[in-house]
């Protein structure tokens, strides 16, 4: 079966999805919808698809089997629920929605429509993360006792679209946007879920009303402790996750690979060659559609990421530890 796909939101990430679809013979991209016609027209020429300014018109005319939703976060719920009502399978970009309540509305709509929903948590498809997960599972470095995840990048750079700095549209700043990746990475590689969380945020950004840094201490359902430290102010870029075991350490450096220390020295671990993460993400969605099974990065899973982020904001506001319901 060949699946017709359409994209809602022709912004920065849309090209990753369109490039991935090109690599999948079982999928064909047919259209893109963006109220900014110039974005749609540029993509339409590049990928030989039809541009629309109204996503509803696009879905009604093109009748896609799969819709990719890649719009500002405050539109995720509204667009996802509407697309469910039209029977489209969904690849909904992360973070799933602004809060848990909105996630529940999407989950309900997906279930009553009987569609497959995958949320774009790309950490599940990065080769170094997959290798780190296997390392933990093999237990060859003993017990995993702590994870230290550190990310610094200049979040306030001029080319970031303005909606990212408006809490009402983005749901939050660096913790909502990139903290979602850190929570997902920790949950994915350990196979556990965030159970309790304490956080402190700062708001010194040059624009908007979102937090520009965050420091989080969390424990997972397996009793593992982890910290997440993120700063979006100017500085030196870092994207590193240290895994501390009883008999060694491992270091994930995003986009570069995995280093393992067995006797006091780090050695780079060769990674398995695999397809582009965005291709693998679509493969998971297609498998979910064909099998009727939930994909790994399902809506229910993605809701756990939003619950953890919600707990980060609540902990910062109230000054105490937050306990999460775990599934």
Ligand X SMILES: NC(=O)c1ccc[n+]([C@@H]2O[C@H](COP(=O)([O-])OP(=O)(O)OC[C@H]3O[C@@H](n4cnc5c(N)ncnc54)[C@H](O)[C@@H]3O)[C@@H](O)[C@H]2O)c1
Task: List residues near ligand X by CB under 6 A.
Answer: 8-13, 33-36, 39, 55, 70-73, 75, 93-94, 120, 122, 161, 177
CB of 74 to ligand X, least distance (A): 9
Instruction: State the nearest-atom distance from the C-beta of 95 to ligand X, in Å.
Output: 6
How many CB atoms within 10 Å of residue 71?
24
- Our CB check for ligand X shows the closer of 245 and 278 to be 278
Q: Give backbone dihedrals phi and psi of 53, rounded to 5 degrees, phi first.
A: -100, -15
Cβ at position 179, least distance to ligand X in Å: 11
Residue 98 neighbours by CB distance under 10 Å:
23
By beta-carbon proximity to ligand X, the closer residue of 38 and 326 is: 38
Minimum distance from residue 173 beta carbon to ligand X (Å): 12
Query: What is the closest distance, in whole angstroms, from the C-beta atom of residue 11 to ligand X in the complex?
Result: 2
CB of 116 to ligand X, least distance (A): 18
From the list 232, 226, 186, the residue with the least C-alpha distance to 206 is 232
Nearer to ligand X, 133 or 169 (CB): 169
Q: Which residues contact 281 (CB under 8 A, 6 or more apart)?
A: 20, 91, 118, 120, 122, 124, 125, 297
Phi-psi region of 12 (alpha: psi -120 to 50; beta: other; left: phi over 0): alpha
* Nearest-approach distance from CB 122 to ligand X, in angstroms: 4
Nearer to ligand X, 41 or 261 (CB): 41
Which of 92/307 has CB closer to ligand X?
A: 92
Q: Among residues 121, 89, 95, 82, which one has the least CA distance to residue 4?
A: 89
The 8-class DSSP code of residue 196 comes to E
What are 193's two structure tokens? Answer: 């879920």
Q: Quick one: 88 or 260, whose CB is closer to ligand X?
A: 88
Q: In what order do the strands lie in the sheet with 66-69?
A: 50-52, 27-33, 3-8, 66-69, 89-93, 117-120
Question: What one-character-per-residue DSSP string does 14-65 give?
Answer: HHHHHHHHHT-TTEEEEEEE-SSHHHHHHHHHHHT-EEES-HHHHHHHH--S
By beta-carbon proximity to ligand X, the closer residue of 161 and 319 is 161
């Amino acid at each position: 079966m060949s699946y017709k796909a359409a994209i809602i939101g022709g912004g920065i990430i849309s090209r990753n999805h369109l490039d991935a679809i090109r690599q999948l013979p079982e999928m064909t991209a047919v259209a893109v919808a963006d109220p900014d016609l110039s974005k749609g027209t540029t993509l339409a020429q590049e990928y030989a698809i039809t541009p629309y300014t109204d996503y509803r018109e696009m879905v009604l005319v093109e009748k896609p089997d799969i819709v990719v939703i890649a719009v500002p976060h405050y539109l995720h719920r509204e667009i996802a629920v509407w697309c469910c009502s039209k029977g489209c399978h969904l690849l909904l970009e992360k973070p799933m929605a602004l809060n848990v309540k909105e996630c529940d509305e999407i989950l309900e709509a997906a279930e009553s429509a009987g569609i497959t929903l995958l949320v774009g948590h790309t950490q599940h498809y990065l080769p170094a993360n997959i290798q780190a997960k296997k390392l933990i599972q093999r237990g060859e470095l003993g017990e995993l006792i702590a994870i230290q995840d550190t990310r610094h990048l200049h979040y306030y750079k001029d080319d970031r679209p303005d909606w990212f700095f408006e809490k009402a549209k983005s749901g939050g700043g660096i913790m909502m946007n990139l903290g979602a990746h850190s929570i997902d990475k920790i949950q994915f590689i350990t196979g556990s879920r965030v159970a309790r969380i304490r956080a402190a945020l700062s708001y010194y950004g040059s624009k908007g009303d979102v937090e520009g840094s965050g420091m989080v201490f969390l424990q997972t359902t397996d009793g593992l402790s982890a910290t997440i430290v993120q700063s979006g102010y100017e500085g030196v870029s870092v994207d590193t996750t240290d895994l501390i075991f009883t008999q060694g350490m491992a270091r994930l450096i995003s986009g570069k690979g995995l280093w393992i220390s067995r006797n006091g020295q780090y050695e780079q671990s060769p990674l398995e060659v695999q397809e582009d993460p965005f291709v693998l993400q679509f493969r998971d969605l297609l498998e979910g559609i064909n099998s009727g099974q939930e994909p790994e990065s399902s809506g229910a899973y993605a809701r756990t990421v939003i619950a953890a982020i919600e707990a980060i904001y609540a902990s910062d506001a109230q000054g105490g530890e937050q306990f999460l319901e775990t599934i």
